[in-house]
Amino acid sequence: MKLIFATHNQNKIEELKKLVPSHFSILSLTDINCHKEIEETGSTLEENATIKANFIKYKYGLHCFSDDSGLEIDALNGAPGVYSARYASEAKNNEENIKKVWEKLKGNPNTKAQFRTVIAASFDKNIQLFEGIVKGNIIFEKRGQGGFGYDPIFIPESYNKTFAELGDTIKNTISHRALATQNFLNGLNQLKKS
Ligand code: IMP
């Protein structure tokens, strides 16, 4: 079965291809000749993931799924959340985003935060949502060279290193994206059985 992953991000495509059973063939937006950047106009991760999945469903009539992720900080009422990529400005600059988090927190002792991923899948007439969450804490210095985004300032629970220090192998087993993907794959397996 062909499944469209509504993304232009080739890294995400390659990562997923390694995880799904071989009877699913994963195609990117580029693979189906869709060169449009689907606008993320929702105000929640769920809405944005659904917008992207619906776009492919209605325009191309294909089985598809999409994802949206963000960092949710307790003391900031869940911000930056759905606006994580462009928290400081539309420039989507990681350094500026991290500085803004620190400014907003101003050394607040409540450093609890979580990364959350939502995957929206369109297998039939309904959209199904799958979630993955990793809880942790924000720190007020940058540690580690790996990863991207907010990785250098996020320490997952039960660890004493940031995502940027832990490296991809560990991050890819405990991350929000890995957990959401696992839930999604369980959903795909159910589909195969039904
Ligand atoms: P996306 O939906 O996967 O593109 O993620 C949106 C934004 O959330 C990214 O641009 C990052 O700022 C932030 N983000 C999502 N996942 C991660 C992660 O694993 N590490 C660090 N930042 C992340």
44 alpha carbon to ligand 1 midpoint, in Å? Answer: 14
| Model pLDDT, residue 15 | 86
Give the separation between CA 16 and CA 181, rounded to whole angstroms.
Answer: 8
For residue 158, how many other CB atoms are within 10 A of its CB? 8
Amino acid occupying residue 62: L
**pLDDT exceeds 90 at position 109:** yes
Q: Which of 9, 12, 2, 24 is nearest to 178 (CA)?
A: 12
- Give the DSSP H or E segment for 12: helix 10-19
pTM of the full predicted structure?
A: 0.94
The residues assigned a catalytic role are 68
Residue 146: exposure state from Cβ atoms within 10 A (0-12, 13-18, ≥19): middle
Domains of the chain: 2-193 (3.90.950.10)
Angle at 116 between CA 169 and CA 26, to 5 degrees: 65
pLDDT tens per residue, range 82-94: 999 999 999 999 9
**132 touches ligand 1 (CB under 6 Å):** no
DSSP state, residue 132: E
What are the two backbone dihedrals, phi and then psi, of residue 157, each rounded to the nearest 5 degrees?
A: -55, 145
Query: What would the mean pLDDT of 137-155 be, rounded to a whole number?
Result: 96
23 alpha carbon to ligand 1 midpoint, in Å? Answer: 29
**71 touches ligand 1 (CB under 6 Å):** yes
**159 touches ligand 1 (CB under 6 Å):** no
pLDDT tens per residue, range 67-78: 999 999 999 999
149 alpha carbon to ligand 1 midpoint, in Å? Answer: 6
